[in-house]
A and B are shown apart, each in its own frame.
Chain A
Amino acid sequence: MKIRKSRRLLRPQHKEFLSGNEAIARGSYDAAVRFAAGYPGTPSTEILENIAKRYTDIYAEWSPNEKVALEAASGASMAGARALAAMKHVGLNVASDPLMTLSYTGVNGGLVIITADDPGIHSSQNEQDNRHYAKFAKIPLLEPSDSQEAYDFTILAFEISERFDTPVILRTTTRTSHSKSLVQLKQIKNREIKKTALPNNAEKFVMIPKYARERHWFVEKRLERIRVYSENFLYNRSDYQGNKKGKIGIITSGVAYQYVKEVCGDIPVLKLSLTYPLPTKLIRDFVNRFKKTYVVEELDPFIEEEIKGYGINVTGKERFPSVGELTPDIVHEGLFGKKSKRKKANINLPAREPVMCAGCPYLGIFYILKRLGLYIAGDIGCYTLAAMPPYNAIDSTLCMGAGICQAFGMEKVLNEKDRKKVVAVIGDSTFLHSGMTGLLNIVYNKGIATVIILDNSTTAMTGRQDHPASGYTLKGEETKEINIAGICRALGVDRVRFIDPFKLDELERTISEEVNYDGPSVIISKSPCILLKHVAEIKKAVPPLRVDPSLCNGCLICLKLGCPAIQREFIDNKGVLIINPILCNGCALCVDLCKIGAIKP
């Protein structure tokens, strides 16, 4: 591993094949970033993972949530260091409180916020367009269209941040974060690490009304200065060479630029990269050269509405959808109308939906919750998969930490019978991210909702990242392992019980008792994620289970577990149950469930 790293660092003239996230990590290193923080979230996760793995002299951490990450990064910036906070789009909602006032304070060392948006909702709860945050906070916004720009813009973002005394938002999308393309690295001889010191500037950093009013003037003037900069910004550029008035021109940004270049041949393009504040003169000059100008952008008409606000006439969302990802085909259709229809093969194929893993400690819990007929306020994590068949067991999913509060809100207004049906389920990482205040509210305001914390010792859904209760930092260093039960008790919950998620009888008994208890209670299911390396190694040694065909009566109760290792095959049109020996790791939940004893070691 080390040889690979040093070779990378020693050969900067060589082009590298990098994902957008890898390019941002490398750009941070070349920009001499000292401090990087974030919370895992698709598609942003690999930025911090790469920084921690490859560029070890940058301090990098998983923070408990995005608000903490941005606030900590702003502290590093105040002290003079270059700092970065990386998160997914909805993470910036959590960090929006510090963001709005960081715009006022500005920075000392450069401060860059990476927001990785998810058009198409590959792995999120919505597809909000975070470019609005730049306008909302009145700070500059950069939109890379490939890995080269992700790298270049990361370095530029720090320069802009320091030059204009402002936080900068670098906005990627799933496509730019996860696509790979070639990156020409800069030849940086000496990475100049900025000196740090205690900042002594109350008017800048103490946002009491007296100072904040002054800083708001500063923010407005700064925005105008950046607008002038935007007019001459190297990456806001038109490729129109002619003098005559053309027929159509296209204004575009982000990955949509690549689609436009792919399908439009030699139609002139104004490619915008610093998309807030916009270069109005550059845009006006471009639009004036054409009879018709289209704006091609993914998600909201962010650029389009800005341009129209200046009284410039362009066409955008009436031709291109605001929903989902763009593709070269959608861009083509918007510009030129429908392509000739190809004959499509019409084969009815079974879907391949994501499922929980064989031996996952959540399987038995959702089986029991469903059997007890409970109403389940869910949260964000692997357990969201229990919304799918065979469980159909999740009744709400909103945002990180919301399940606990929604359960509380419901039980406050429901009748006596229904209020005892409500439980909240939340993972360990999500609980530490933003579940604690909800639990505090249940105690303080005399709720009775039962909260089940599914503690699998990791942030599983995003690929098993560490968190404050896992005992390790992002860099793999040992650290204090926070005690979740201790937190619950400290928040005022007197009834905190542990359950073994592989014992169905115990699960059923404990959950029934707690939902019927007239007060706040927490059930902690502590069992590590089956995909964690040390767990997988132990489980691999356990021999797989098998179904005895002479005993199995085909009642199919085992399928209700939703374990992907339990499979039904059709032999001579007769359904036969088998256990896939490659997937099964012998957790034996199904043995417990099969009352006639047909499943055996």
Chain B
Amino acid sequence: MKKDFNKTINLLFAGVGGQGVLLASDILSEIAHAAGLDVKKSDIHGMSQRGGSVVSQVRIGEKVYSPIIREGEVDFLIAFEILEALRCLNILSEKCRIIVNNQKIYPISIYNGKENKHPKDDFELIKKRYKDAELMDGFAIAEKAGDNRAVNLVLLGRLSNYLPFEQTLWEGVIKRCVPPSSVEKNLHAFKLGRRVGL
């Protein structure tokens, strides 16, 4: 497995407070750790509890120095919300693989009509620049798994297809990281996400 990491892999998780962004990046980091790799993770979540954006960066490799990713070097973007995906476009690498959850959470600036509107054809704006961008209905899949809060596990499931970690490794770490009462639903959500489009 290690031979795949002669270059550090940079992953960016973006969403809104309450969507489980930090748990997702924690699980991925623990998996990298379990696989014997170096990993660093940096979160910006100062105001997330008050409806602000949440961004979490994970870097995985043989030896990782900076906890934050250089501009233009994001290899994977996992966006939990479309507006937050758009916000990240300028720091992605040209070949960035993008997984976007098809959910719109409008910021209050839109509601009170003070700000410009949510851009139309938002996913097309992404797809136009990045051919490896995919949109998925994480909410519906999570609901099918029995817990609509497990969108984060659905997205991780989809991401797992592109990373060189065994399914058993993922499942072992997920069991350790999620609350005991919701292990089954989370594993189910992960598996459904992993199978999307395959």
- A91 CB to closest chain B CB (Å) equals 16
B52–A122 contact, CB under 8 A? Answer: no
B43–A178 contact, CB under 8 A? Answer: yes
Partner of B111 from the list A178, A328, A567 (CB cut-off 8 Å) is A567
Is there a chain A Cβ closer than 8 Å to B163's Cβ? Answer: no
A255–B109 contact, CB under 8 A? Answer: no
Partner of A352 from the list B33, B38, B53, B90 (CB cut-off 8 Å) is B53
**How far is it, in angstroms, between the C-alpha of A122 and the C-alpha of B54 when the chains are bound?**
12
Partner of A181 from the list B40, B52, B111 (CB cut-off 8 Å) is B40
**How far is it, in angstroms, between the C-alpha of A345 and the C-alpha of B94 when the chains are bound?**
12
B107–A329 contact, CB under 8 A? Answer: no
Binds A, one of B66-74, B138-146, B152-160, B189-197: B66-74
Is there a chain A Cβ closer than 8 Å to B50's Cβ? Answer: yes
Q: Mark B12-40, 1 if CB is under 8 A from A, else 0.
A: 00001000000000100110010000111
Q: Nearest chain-A residue to B37 (Cβ)?
A: A182
Q: Nearest chain-B residue to A390 (Cβ)?
A: B112
- A192 CB to closest chain B CB (Å) equals 31
Binds B, one of A296-304, A353-361, A479-487: A353-361
**How far is it, in angstroms, between the C-alpha of A568 and the C-alpha of B40 when the chains are bound?**
41
Is there a chain A Cβ closer than 8 Å to B89's Cβ? Answer: yes
- B156 CB to closest chain A CB (Å) equals 16
Partner of B50 from the list A146, A174, A182, A385 (CB cut-off 8 Å) is A385
- B145 CB to closest chain A CB (Å) equals 19
Question: Would A350 and B115 be within 8 Å (CB), given that A179-B42, A345-B89 are in contact?
Answer: yes
Among A181, A263, A345, A575, find the residue whose CB has the most chain B CB atoms closer than 10 A.
Answer: A181
- B86 CB to closest chain A CB (Å) equals 6
Binds A, one of B95-103, B116-124, B164-172: B116-124
- A262 CB to closest chain B CB (Å) equals 4
Which residues of chain A are within 8 angstroms of B135 by Cβ–Cβ distance?
none
Which residues of chain A are within 8 angstroms of B38 by Cβ–Cβ distance?
182
B116–A350 contact, CB under 8 A? Answer: yes
A122–B89 contact, CB under 8 A? Answer: no
Q: What interface size band does chain A fall in?
A: 35 or more
Q: Nearest chain-B residue to A147 (Cβ)?
A: B40
- B6 CB to closest chain A CB (Å) equals 16
Number of residues from B at the complex interface, CB < 8 A: 50
- A199 CB to closest chain B CB (Å) equals 41
B119–A559 contact, CB under 8 A? Answer: no
B51–A355 contact, CB under 8 A? Answer: yes
Which residues of chain A are within 8 angstroms of B50 by Cβ–Cβ distance?
354-357, 382, 385
A344–B90 contact, CB under 8 A? Answer: yes
**How far is it, in angstroms, between the C-alpha of A182 and the C-alpha of B47 when the chains are bound?**
26
Which residues of chain B are within 8 angstroms of A463 by Cβ–Cβ distance?
49
- A178 CB to closest chain B CB (Å) equals 6
Which residues of chain B are within 8 angstroms of A570 by Cβ–Cβ distance?
117
Partner of B107 from the list A178, A332, A351, A531 (CB cut-off 8 Å) is A351
B108–A347 contact, CB under 8 A? Answer: no
B46–A122 contact, CB under 8 A? Answer: yes
**How far is it, in angstroms, between the C-alpha of A181 and the C-alpha of B68 when the chains are bound?**
12
- A208 CB to closest chain B CB (Å) equals 44
B118–A354 contact, CB under 8 A? Answer: no
Partner of A17 from the list B39, B71, B84 (CB cut-off 8 Å) is B39
- B82 CB to closest chain A CB (Å) equals 10
B47–A354 contact, CB under 8 A? Answer: yes
Which residues of chain B are within 8 angstroms of A345 by Cβ–Cβ distance?
89-90, 125, 129
Is there a chain A Cβ closer than 8 Å to B65's Cβ? Answer: yes
Is there a chain B Cβ closer than 8 Å to A342's Cβ? Answer: yes
Is there a chain A Cβ closer than 8 Å to B9's Cβ? Answer: no
- B117 CB to closest chain A CB (Å) equals 7
**How far is it, in angstroms, between the C-alpha of A352 and the C-alpha of B38 when the chains are bound?**
33
Which residues of chain B are within 8 angstroms of A259 by Cβ–Cβ distance?
65-66
A349–B112 contact, CB under 8 A? Answer: no
**How far is it, in angstroms, between the C-alpha of A179 and the C-alpha of B59 when the chains are bound?**
11
Partner of A258 from the list B30, B67, B89 (CB cut-off 8 Å) is B67
Which residues of chain B are within 8 angstroms of A342 by Cβ–Cβ distance?
71-72, 90
Partner of A575 from the list B41, B84, B113 (CB cut-off 8 Å) is B113
Is there a chain B Cβ closer than 8 Å to A200's Cβ? Answer: no
A355–B116 contact, CB under 8 A? Answer: no
Which residues of chain B are within 8 angstroms of A382 by Cβ–Cβ distance?
50
- B108 CB to closest chain A CB (Å) equals 5
Is there a chain B Cβ closer than 8 Å to A492's Cβ? Answer: no
Is there a chain B Cβ closer than 8 Å to A327's Cβ? Answer: yes
- B142 CB to closest chain A CB (Å) equals 15
Beyond the given pairs A350-B116, A353-B109, 16 more chain A to chain B contacts, judged by CB atoms under 8 angstroms and listed by A's residue number, are A123-B47, A178-B43, A179-B40, A179-B43, A181-B39, A182-B38, A263-B70, A329-B71, A342-B72, A350-B110, A351-B107, A351-B109, A354-B47, A389-B109, A390-B112, A566-B111
Those 3 A-B pairs whose CB atoms lie nearest each other, nearest first: A354-B47, A354-B50, A262-B66
Q: Which residues of A line the B interface, CB within 8 A?
A: 15, 17, 42, 122-123, 146, 174-175, 178-182, 255, 258-259, 261-263, 327-329, 332, 339, 342, 344-345, 347-357, 382, 385, 389-390, 463, 531, 559, 562, 564, 566-568, 570, 575
Query: Please, could you name 10 A-B residue pairs with CB atoms under 8 Å apart, sorted by A?
Result: A15-B33, A17-B30, A327-B68, A348-B119, A350-B83, A351-B109, A354-B51, A389-B109, A390-B114, A566-B111
